[in-house]
Amino acid sequence: MAGHGAGAALVRVVHVADEPASYHVAWGVYDDVSGTTSGLGEITAAGHQASLTRLPDQVGTLVQVDVSAVSPAHQSWSVPIHGYFRRTGNGWRLVGLDRSGR
């Protein structure tokens, strides 16, 4: 997840297999204590990037980003991977990645 203007985020997807029809990306504030997520926004887009215009700017905030792909040839791609990012004084830092399919 890269900065994309003040308080915004951009997810770029790089793949090595067949091109999917589209990607689905969902952002949410993650509560590490309860394990729950409060939605910030979702987008389904063709191409290799999806952006969200506004993210929390409070240091210590955790954001979960779920990324999945739509591909009739690869049904398993519809199960999202979950990336976890923590807001620092210098931007966002990847602190976890979950591919368990939950």
52-91 pLDDT, tens digit per residue, is: 768 898 999 999 999 998 888 888 889 999 999 999 999 8
> Domain holding 84: CATH number?
2.60.40
Number of domains in the chain: 1
**Res 3 pLDDT > 50:** no
Residues 6 or more apart whose Cβ sits within 8 Å of residue 61: 29, 86, 87
Domain membership of residue 8 as a residue range: 2-98
Give the pLDDT confidence of 81-97 residue by residue, as tens digits: 999 999 999 989 999 99
Q: What is the pLDDT of residue 4?
A: 44
Q: E strands of 1-102, at which residues?
A: 2-3, 9-12, 22-31, 36-45, 49-52, 62-70, 81-88, 91-98
